Amino acid sequence: MGHVSMAFEGKAQVAEKPAEFEARQTGRRCFVILPYAAPVTGDAPAIDFDAVFNEIIQPVAEDLDLDCIRSDRVSRSGLIHREMVENIIDADVVIADISLGSPDIFFELGIRQAARRAGTVVMCHAGTSEDFNITGVRALDYELPPEGSPSRVQILADCRALLRTHIKNSLDNRATDSIVHSLIPGISIRLPDRPLPERRYHIYKLGLAGMTGPKAARQIEIVTGDLADVDDIDVWVNPENTRMELARLHDSSVSATIRYLGSRRDRHGFVRDDAITRLLRAQVGASHRTGIEPATTMLTRAGALAKSNKVKLIVHVAAHQGEPGRGYQLIGAYRKCVTNSLAAVDDYNARFGAKMNAKSALRSVLIPLFGARSPGESPHERVQGLIHAAHQFLLHSPDTKIERIAFLAWTQVDLELCQAALHRLGLKPAGIPKGPGKA
Q: 390 pLDDT exceeds 50?
A: yes
Q: 316 pLDDT exceeds 80?
A: yes
Strands 235-241 and 364-368: parallel
Residue count of the chain? 439
| Averaged pLDDT for residues 115-128 | 84
Strands 404-409 and 139-142: unpaired
Answer whether 0.85 is exceeded by the pTM: no
Residues 6+ apart with CB under 8 A from 260: 249, 250, 271
Judge whether 429 and 204 are in contact, CB under 8 Å: yes
Judge whether 81 and 73 are in contact, CB under 8 Å: no
Q: Which residues of 223-236 are buried (b: 16+ CB within 10 A; e: fewer)?
A: bbbebeebebbbbb
- pLDDT of 288-304, one tens digit each? 777 899 999 999 999 99
Q: 350 pLDDT exceeds 70?
A: yes
Name residue 393's amino acid. F
More confident residue, 357 or 68: 68
Chain-wide mean pLDDT for the chain? Answer: 83
At 220 the pLDDT is 97
Strands 93-97 and 29-33: parallel
| Averaged pLDDT for residues 75-94 | 78
- What are the residues facing 318 on neighbouring strands? 240
Ordered domains of the chain (ranges, CATH) = 3-183 (3.40.50.2300), 201-424 (3.40.220.10)
- pLDDT of 99-112, one tens digit each? 888 888 899 999 99
359 vs 361: CA distance, rounded Å: 6
At 213 the pLDDT is 55
End-to-end CA distance of the chain: 50
Judge whether 236 and 422 are in contact, CB under 8 Å: no
At 121 the pLDDT is 92
Residue among 219, 197, 257, 193 at smallest CA distance from 435: 197
User: Percent of the chain scored above 90 by pLDDT?
Assistant: 43
Determine phi and psi for 279, rounding to 5 degrees.
-65, -40
Residue among 46, 100, 50, 45 at smallest CA distance from 72: 50
At 76 the pLDDT is 55
- pLDDT of 213-269, one tens digit each? 555 679 999 999 999 999 999 999 999 999 999 999 989 899 999 999 999 999 999
Dihedral angle, C-alpha 39, 54, 95, 193, nearest 10 ° = 120
Q: What Cα–Cα distance (Å) separates residue 429 from each residue in 25, 52, 82, 227?
A: 11, 31, 30, 22
At 294 the pLDDT is 96
User: Percent of the chain scored above 70 by pLDDT?
Assistant: 83
| Averaged pLDDT for residues 315-337 | 92
Q: What Cα–Cα distance (Å) separates residue 123 from each residue in 145, 284, 300?
A: 16, 57, 55
Q: 51 pLDDT exceeds 70?
A: yes
